[in-house]
Structure 1
Amino acid sequence: MNGLPFALVLASILTHAYWNYLIKRSEEKHVFTALSKIAEIVIFATPAIYFLSITDFKISFLFLILVASIITFLNYFFLANAYKYGELSLVYPISRSSILFLPILAYLFIGETIDSIGIIAIVFILLGTFIMHLDSFDRNGIQNIATNINNNGSIYALIAAFTVAGYTLWDKISISKMEPFLYFYLYTFVICCIYNFFIFSKFSKNEIKNEWINNKSRIIQVGFFNSFTYILILIALTMSKATYVGGLRQLSIVIGAFLGYKFLGENLTKPKIIGILISVIGGSLIYLAK
């Protein structure tokens, strides 16, 4: 993997872990996320208008945007549900495990292949994620792994990971056909409309108002860092394989686990620490992959 896309993904994992931490700290996860999409649309409206004015917009772009909107909305929906039931340091690594699905999807749909170092890197990342679910390394810890995984937080997080693989691959295809920022902004706009329709039909005006009053600064921050983070990823996707970009993003689990431990009082057990280290080794090997 070349140095520039590698550096862009590394930068994105810091901001991605941070805005996920902010969502975890919110009171009503779905309301918070929906309001952050409004903030996102407002913050980036000016550059979006500029790119729209210089783009020869084609009808076929609408299909690309619609599919991306649906997949990404599902990711936000399942991620918000995962944070309702699970700890940040456990849910976040699973939700970033798109590498479970991405190599197969990328091969089937765009014929993307990876070398032997890339395969080893992915195995390390998956192994690290699995170890993080252990309570301990003794017999009881291993026996309890099924219980740790079989809970609502982990199940929703795993579904979220599948949607990440889906939109990463779809984005790789789409940005070869239209301008990356405009593509991202327009499908974010659609998601904003869908999510807020869902929120305003399910929650009372007082609940929505209170979430804004109590978390205004955090909502705006998520709105900014969400777009900023994924713009970096889109640029990296234009220069590297989707599997490697998706795999390297797994390194954000290190930041997520630290934030959960430092600020949310979550336990940082020995298996979590070792699992993180193994995943980091796997992510680092991606730099050597071709």
Structure 2
Amino acid sequence: MATTPFLLVLISIFTHAYWNYLIKSSENKHVFTAFSKLAEIVIFAIPAMYFFSSTDFKIDFLWLILIASIITFLNYYFLSSAYKYGELSLVYPVSRSSIIFLPVLAYFIIGETINTTGVAAIILIILGTFIMHLDSFDKRGFLTVLKSISNKGSIYALLAALTVAGYTLWDKISITKMQPFLYFYSYTFLIACFYNSFIYFKFSKSNLVNEWTKNKTKIIQVGFFNSFTYILVLTALTMSKASYVGGLRQLSIVIGVFFGYKLLNEKLNKSKIIGVVISILGGSLIYIAK
């Protein structure tokens, strides 16, 4: 993997973990996330107007934008639901496990292949994620993991990971056809409409006012860092393979575990430490993969 996309993704993993921590620390996850999407479209409205005015917008772009918005909306819905039922340090690693699906989907959909080093890197990242969920390295520990995977938080997180694989591939295809920022902003605008319509009908006005009053600063931060993070990722996708970008992005779980431990008082046991180390090793191998 070339140095520039590697560094772009490394920066993105810090900002991505941070805005996920902010969502987890909110009171009403769905309302918070929906408001953050509104914040995004307001914060980045000026550059969006520039790209709209300077780009030849084709009718075919609407399909790219619509499909991206549906997949990404599902990701936000599943992620917010996962945080409702599970801890950040467990939900976040599973939701970032798109690498379980991505290489296979990338091969069949866009014909992307990876070398032996890349395969080894991905296996290590998956193994590290699994080990993070262990309470102990005995039979009881493995049974506990199997049980935790079947709970609502982990199921929603796994669905979120699947949608991440889906939109990563769709983004890889779409940014070859239209300007990356314009593409991202357009589907973010649609998601904001979808999500805020959803919360308007699902939650009372007092729920909406309460969440904004308590967390407006965090909502605005998520609005900024969400777009900033994915602009870095889209840029990296123009320079590198989707499987490697997706695999390296999973290193954000290391930061997520740290935030969960340091800021939310979640447990940091031996298995999480070992899992983090193995995941970092896998991410390092991606740098030399072809």
What range describes the TM-score normalised by the shorter chain of this pair?
A: over 0.9
> Aligned residue for 1:125?
125
Structure 2, unmatched stretches of 5+, are: none
Q: Name segments (4+ residues, structure 1) moved above 4 Å.
A: none
| CA-CA distance at 1:140 after TM superposition | 1.4
Superposition deviation, residue 229 in structure 1: 0.2
The answer to which of 160-169 and 137-146 deviates more is 137-146
1:220 aligns with 2:211: no
SS of equivalent residue, structure 2 residue 134? coil
Q: Secondary structure at the match of 1:58?
A: coil
| RMSD after superposition | 0.5
1:71-123 CA deviation, whole Å, 9 max, x = no partner? 00000000000000100000000000000000011000100000000000000
- Residue 239 (structure 1) aligned with residue 235 (structure 2): no
Distance 1:47 1:141 in 2: 50
Counterpart residue number, 1:285 = 285
Which amino acid letter does the alignment assign opposite residue 267 of structure 2?
A: N
Could you tell me whether the CA contact under 8 Å between 1:98 and 1:161 is conserved in 2?
yes
Secondary structure class of the residue paired with 1:239: coil
> In structure 1, how many angstroms separate the alpha carbons of the residues matched to 2:226 and 2:139?
41
Alpha-carbon shift at residue 143 of structure 1 (Å): 2.3
The one-letter amino acid paired with 1:225 is F
Partner SS state of residue 144, structure 1: helix
Output the CA distance in 2 between the equivalents of 1:266 and 1:230. Answer: 27
Which residue number corresponds to residue 164 of structure 2?
A: 164
Structure 1: unaligned runs, 5 residues or longer: none
Aligned match of 1:271: 271
User: Where in structure 2 are the equivalents of 1:1-290 lying within 5 Å?
Assistant: 1-290=1-290
- Aligned-pair CA distance for 1:220: 0.1
- SS for the counterpart of 2:250 is helix
Q: Letter of the 2:75 partner, please give it.
A: N
C-alpha distance in structure 2 between counterparts of 1:53 and 1:106, whole Å: 33
Q: C-alpha offsets along residues 174-199 of structure 1, whole Å, 9 cap, x if unaligned?
A: 00000000000000000000000000
- State the percentage of identical aligned residues: 73
Is the 1:133–1:149 Cα contact (8 Å) retained in structure 2?
no
Matched to 2:202, the amino acid is: K
Structure 1 letter corresponding to 2:39 = A
Structure 2 Cα separation of the partners of residues 143 and 197 of structure 1:
41
Deviations for 1:238-282, whole angstroms, at most 9, x for unmatched residues? 000000000000100010000000010100111111111111110
User: Distance between the aligned counterparts of 1:278 and 1:271, measured in 2?
Assistant: 11
